[in-house]
Amino acid sequence: MSSHPSQIAADAAVDRLPVTLPRLAEMKRLGDPIVMVTAYDFPSARAAEAAGVDIVLVGDSGAMTVLGYPSTVGVQLDEMIMLARAVRRGLHTPLLVGDLPLGSYEISDEQAISSALRFVKQAGCDAVKLEGGGPASCARARAIVGAGIPVMGHVGLTPQTATALGGYRAQGRSAAAAARVAAEALALQEAGCFSIVFEAIPSQVAELLMARLEIAVIGIGAGAAPDGQVLVFHDLLGIREGLGARFVKRYADLQDEMTAGVAAYADDVRTRRYPQPEHGYAIDAAELSELRERLR
Ligand code: KIV
């Protein structure tokens, strides 16, 4: 008899050692695919833990998925720290990465180190991620690494600066643009990043760059060549309205299930099918008659 996938995942998660940076480097060397997913609260962290993923990112995508902002631009560092603290409470083995939101690292190395330290000290993150591979982002990455905090880079489509990139669209689709992505990725590696995200770049470009990178590359819309893949929790489980980007593969339709569940509950309340006696508490008959006396 074959086991249910959730049972296989739960078994895999039992007794797992915490995922460390050397473990990720080893996975890259061995060609073991690295599984990364975002999480923003205790239940999503518990799902990632039980499924045995390797890296959990408290992405600033949480601005949209759980906080209802129209983009990642408005989310505050304080809000990201609160989400990361909830994730930490549900997570033990995956490497936990906190995403530095726009405005929390660009101004100076000091600001970047201070924001990264908050993720580590207040939320228990193992590492932070920042977007972009230009000179400023690389300087910040170098400064944070210098302060002893591991940094994950992010090139290609970088949603925090999507306006400057011409919108939410694939990057590196001309030789010149792909060469810029390559230069940024190499500069982030040189700055000391332990890993880098490639978002929405042509698969062939990602494949060409893989040969040049010694650190673990995690792809999202970058084809199959990267060392691992990341998807946004709410995208892969269908906890959203609309389809999302073309690179998303949907493994469930929980938004529809949630709506159906709440609608069924509302219907039960309105038609008095809920609650039933088994959903309530009882009082001893003698206590009840004494209460009646007292209330008389
Ligand atoms: O914020 C996020 O979810 C991300 C991933 C898409 C890599 O940056």
CB 61 within 8 A of CB 88: no
CB 93 within 8 A of CB 18: yes
Res 15: pLDDT: 75
User: Which positions are annotated as active-site residues?
Assistant: 199
How far the first Cα of the chain sits from its last, in Å, is: 64
Average pLDDT over residues 233-248: 92
Per-residue model confidence as pLDDT tens digits over 46-70? 999 999 999 999 999 999 999 999 9
Which CATH number applies to 5-252? 3.20.20.60
What is the pTM for the complete model shown? 0.93
Average pLDDT over residues 104-129: 98
- 238 C-alpha to ligand 1 centroid (Å): 16
Instruction: Supply the residue whose CA is at minimum distance from atom 1 of ligand 1.
Output: 59
Q: What single string gives the DSSP state of each residue in 82-138?
A: HHHHHHHHH-SSSEEEEEPPTTSSSS-HHHHHHHHHHHHHHH--SEEE----SHHHH
Q: Is the pLDDT of residue 1 over 70?
A: no
Q: Is the pLDDT of residue 13 over 90?
A: no
**Does the C-beta of 235 come closer than 6 Å to ligand 1?**
no
Distance CA 142, CA 124 (A): 21
Per-residue model confidence as pLDDT tens digits over 82-114? 999 999 999 999 999 999 999 999 999 999 999
**Does the C-beta of 59 come closer than 6 Å to ligand 1?**
yes
- 282 C-alpha to ligand 1 centroid (Å): 50
Res 12: pLDDT: 54
Indicate where the chain has its CATH 3.20.20.60 domain(s). 5-252
Q: Is the pLDDT of residue 240 over 80?
A: yes
Q: Which atom of ligand 1 is nearest to the CA of 59?
A: 1
Res 162: pLDDT: 85
**Does the C-beta of 230 come closer than 6 Å to ligand 1?**
yes
Average pLDDT over residues 155-176: 91
**Does the C-beta of 236 come closer than 6 Å to ligand 1?**
no
